[in-house]
């Protein structure tokens, strides 16, 4: 009976936490705007898996450089491809690259950061100096080096962006963990005989999840930008797979006769990054009121 009562109290507490989170989220304009934009982009990407208005790999020279019309809502490019269809498929590719790259950063960076915080001393210093070395090589430069060895492609872009994300999440996890280790509940766990690894898994990581979630949305938006930049210089997603960055590169010689070729993918990048940044800003305010900015 006692165990059942404790479990019931825990469930009730979790429900109350969710209700509190929803109340704050629904009154936060940044969160709502970011969530709507992000969900829309994700929905477009999911729809593109099963349907697009036209085949993005089919070249129809007779329809090249058409403007906005009922047939092609966002016009066509210099090969006669439907730009709306390319934007839809491009969103899928951009999201996939950014999401996997963020996953790599979390999967490698968080264990490294929490391990450094638990060990301190020489281990902490070595890991942090190693992260400084990685920071010295931006994602674009890392992609150039990786491409020189393995060749261009989406996989190498994911690796390059993911490597750059590792020290970011390592530092966030380390900072959050260092703030928790002196806390009373952590000291109590250590006094009960729990090892540092178990304490990290059971107490540290759950309590820094909010920080990681906010940082994840920020790195997601940076991943979208990085993927577009790498594709623009020919190091990211390769033809015939559409990419927003590649579309911008192909549009630069057509600006005077078909400006929509550049405007549409540029707007897609801007609105996606804006939505993710607003979502991250809103999550920060909702999950940690102490960081709420004075507006």
pLDDT value at residue 288? 66
Q: Would you say 91 and 41 are in contact if contact means Cβ atoms under 8 Å apart?
A: yes
- Residues whose CB is less than 8 angstroms from the CB of residue 270 and which lie 6 or more positions away in sequence, other chains included: none
* Among candidate residues 220, 239, 65, 235, the one with its CA nearest the CA of residue 151: 235
**What phi and psi values does residue 125 have, to the nearest 5 degrees?**
-65, -45
DSSP character for 61? G
Q: Given this model, what pLDDT does residue 141 score? A: 76
Band of pLDDT at residue 41, cut at 50, 70 and 90 = very high
Reported for 215-218, long-range contacts at CB under 8 A and 24+ positions apart, including other chains, are: 215/168, 215/169, 215/172, 216/102, 216/106, 217/276, 217/277, 217/279, 217/280, 217/283, 218/276, 218/277, 218/280
Q: How confident is the model at residue 25 (pLDDT cuts 50, 70, 90)?
A: confident
pTM for this prediction: 0.87
Average pLDDT of 33-62? 93
pLDDT digits (tens, 9 = 90+) for 180-207: 999 998 999 888 888 989 999 999 999 9
User: Percentage of residues in the chain with pLDDT exceeding 90?
Assistant: 53
End-to-end CA distance of the chain: 49
pLDDT band at residue 10 using 50, 70 and 90 as cut-offs: very low
Note the pLDDT of residue 293. Answer: 43
Q: Give the contacts of 11 (CB within 8 A, at least 6 positions apart).
A: none
User: Percent of the chain, pLDDT > 70?
Assistant: 90
Mean pLDDT of the chain: 86
pLDDT (tens digit per residue) in 151-178: 788 888 898 889 889 999 999 999 999 9
Check residue 289 and give its pLDDT: 52
The yes-or-no verdict on residue 7 having pLDDT over 70 is no
> Tell me, what's the pLDDT at 12?
46
Q: What is the pLDDT of residues 53-107, one digit of tens each?
A: 999 988 888 889 998 988 999 999 989 999 999 999 999 999 999 999 999 999 9
Per-residue pLDDT, 151: 77
| Burial bucket for residue 151 (CB in 10 Å: 0-12, 13-18, 19+) | exposed
- pLDDT tens digits, residue range 108-149? 999 999 999 998 889 889 988 888 888 777 767 777 777 767
- For residues 78 and 8, which has the higher predicted lDDT (pLDDT)? 78
| pLDDT score at 14 | 54
pLDDT of residue 17: 63
User: Mean pLDDT across the stretch 240-269?
Assistant: 92
What pLDDT is recorded for position 123? 86
**CA–CA separation, 109 vs 161, rounded Å?**
13
């Amino acid at each position: 009976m006692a165990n059942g009562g404790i479990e019931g109290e825990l469930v009730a507490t979790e429900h109350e936490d969710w209700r509190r989170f929803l109340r704050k989220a629904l009154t936060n304009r940044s969160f709502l705007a970011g969530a709507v934009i992000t969900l829309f982009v994700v929905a477009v990407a999911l729809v593109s898996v099963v349907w697009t208005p036209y085949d993005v790999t089919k070249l129809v020279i007779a329809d090249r450089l058409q403007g906005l019309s009922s047939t092609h809502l966002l016009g066509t490019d210099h090969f006669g491809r439907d730009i709306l269809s390319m934007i839809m498929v491009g969103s899928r590719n951009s999201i996939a690259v950014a999401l996997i790259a963020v996953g790599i950063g979390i999967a490698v960076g968080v264990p490294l950061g929490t391990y450094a915080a638990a060990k301190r001393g020489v281990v902490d210093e070595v890991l942090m100096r190693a992260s400084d070395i990685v920071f010295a090589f931006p994602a674009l430069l890392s992609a150039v080096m990786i491409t020189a060895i393995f060749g261009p492609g989406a996989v190498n872009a994911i690796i390059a962006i993911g490597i750059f994300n590792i020290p970011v999440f390592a530092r966030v996890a380390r900072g959050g963990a260092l703030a928790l280790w002196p806390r009373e509940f952590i000291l109590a766990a250590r006094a009960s005989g729990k090892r540092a690894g178990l304490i990290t898994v059971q107490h540290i990581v759950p309590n820094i999840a909010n920080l990681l979630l906010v940082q994840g949305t920020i790195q997601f938006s940076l991943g979208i930008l990085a993927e577009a930049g790498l594709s623009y210089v020919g190091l990211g997603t390769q033809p015939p797979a559409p990419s927003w960055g590649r579309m911008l590169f192909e549009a630069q010689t057509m600006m005077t006769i078909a400006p929509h070729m550049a405007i549409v993918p540029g707007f897609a990048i801007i609105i996606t990054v804006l939505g993710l940044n607003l979502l991250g800003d809103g999550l920060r305010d909702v999950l940690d009121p102490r960081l709420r900015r004075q507006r």
